Structure 1
């Protein structure tokens, strides 16, 4: 299969987001600015998330919530810049490099800072002071690992010619190889938003948070398959288009009314989907081996 069959990344990768369209006419120079404006919006959202995280505290938790929402909007901008570049045939080397920097800042640095301050830095004094100190140190290490895993995910993908997951899926469908970095950042932002920005104040919850950070970082650098969703919108007529529109409208309404729960379900559901796909493949391979030995 080709690299496109296995999901050249449309959120955080270059090839799919900036692949030129040969069948379109040459656009004007001014059109090249349009996708870069959305990429700039991505960077602005990441910078805003960092500033809000720094201002957050147990007495003012809404700053953390603002940071989480900014990362969420950045995911939207990240998807739009590549789509607009392809639609207007305005791909460029500059756009690719700018997109790379935007993803590292917004989906690497910003969520790592938010995760540390929200999940570890706000822990109250404990009966054993050294335990809090050790949790803070572990928090720094784990948040840095999340950042480096996200950056490595981007770098690995950008130099890969034909990436293939260890657990291939249905032929003809496109998959991401490893969790995309915007999805990893989305997990962090969704959890923070679900608690309305109120920081963690229990060491047991801090340990769970630490484990989630480690696991999310692992999924980003893994070679497990994740659904890319690139087949969505390929049908331009008939009932499938109507159903897609209805589904998008329903999800939008749920986010507007119950954003905390809805975004949490979407983010963690996507994370779990990659794990389930890996487990299902391993289970199916084990059954095939058993059947082969039996025969």
Structure 2
């Protein structure tokens, strides 16, 4: 007689030789759920590398090596961008991988940037400094929690709020630029304000382009490759300042677009009031609320 595969998995769990729980995940295949044992190695290797980079950034900041700490956070961004793409390309996506990636992001882009910037320029502000650092960490956690609950309900081409890796890049590049300068009151004040602003942008409803619609496997015009080469050349001239400029432009692009849309809505409303045309109430709020995909 053939043995039930599900019962066979349960018996293996009971007879395991190691005192560790074997991960078993239920996956929807067709009309039924199938249990799979173990985890995918390749995408989780990239996630682990991102987690290690964030942890290494914390250790480096504790020893005063702020340049290394900032670079480690940026390296974590690279690995974080690769794990999801590798999982999709190799068809190795899983619920375990999604949760592991979210927890790794919390360390690499929530805790690590906050501790790095605190040790670099906020420690002299006492309670105000660690409060700003904690605000960044807490907002990163809220941002990740909100993102996880909105998967499948919002347009993938846009982020609602500044993504935590982008906020971490802003903080890390700022520390990288100023790692070899004496942090005085003015620089510390600016760093505190930027940290708080990045934290607020993460939990805001401001929309940002996610760049997930870019097809890296498709053909592009030859001039596109020239632009990519030019970008790399510009970055190599002064990586810290160029990356800071890029991170700042992206971070402030959201509020700029939001203000532009608000200005357009107010202009339309005043024009409609002047002409006596009724204004629909939904026009003013259409750009603020996430719209579920049909």
Q: Same fold (TM over 0.5)?
A: yes
Q: Which runs of 4 or more aligned residues in structure 1 lie more than 4 Å from their structure 2 counterparts after TM superposition?
A: 28-31, 161-164
More strand by share: 2
- Cα distance in 2, alignment partners of residues 43 and 285 from structure 1: 43
- Cα distance in 1, alignment partners of residues 195 and 60 from structure 2: 20
Aligned length: 243
SS at match of 1:144: helix
TM-score (norm 2): 0.77
2:98 corresponds in structure 1 to: 96
- Cα distance in 1, alignment partners of residues 37 and 127 from structure 2: 49
1:13 corresponds in structure 2 to: none
- Aligned counterpart in structure 1 of residue 139 of structure 2, from 149, 169, 180: 149
**For the structure 1 residues 278 and 140, does the alpha-carbon distance in structure 2 shift closer, same or farther, using more than 3 Å as the test?**
same
- Aligned counterpart in structure 2 of residue 216 of structure 1, from 178, 181, 198: 198
2:265 corresponds in structure 1 to: 285
- Cα distance in 2, alignment partners of residues 163 and 236 from structure 1: 27
Cα shift at 1:162: 6.2
Q: Which runs of 5+ in 1 are unaligned?
A: 1-19, 23-27, 57-62, 124-134, 165-171
Q: Deviations over 1:4-54 (max 9, x none)?
A: xxxxxxxxxxxxxxxx9x9xxxxx999921110000000010011000000
1:228 corresponds in structure 2 to: 210
2:167 corresponds in structure 1 to: 184
Q: Which has the higher contact order (CA 8 A, sep 6+)?
A: 1
**For the structure 1 residues 235 and 289, does the alpha-carbon distance in structure 2 shift closer, same or farther, using more than 3 Å as the test?**
farther
Q: Which runs of 5+ in 2 are unaligned?
A: 1-27, 31-35, 276-294
2:284 corresponds in structure 1 to: none
**For the structure 1 residues 151 and 207, does the alpha-carbon distance in structure 2 shift closer, same or farther, using more than 3 Å as the test?**
same
- Aligned counterpart in structure 1 of residue 54 of structure 2, from 26, 46, 49: 46
Q: Deviations over 1:146-172 (max 9, x none)?
A: 0000010000121126666xxxxxxx9
- Cα distance in 2, alignment partners of residues 116 and 261 from structure 1: 20
CA RMSD of aligned residues (A): 2.4
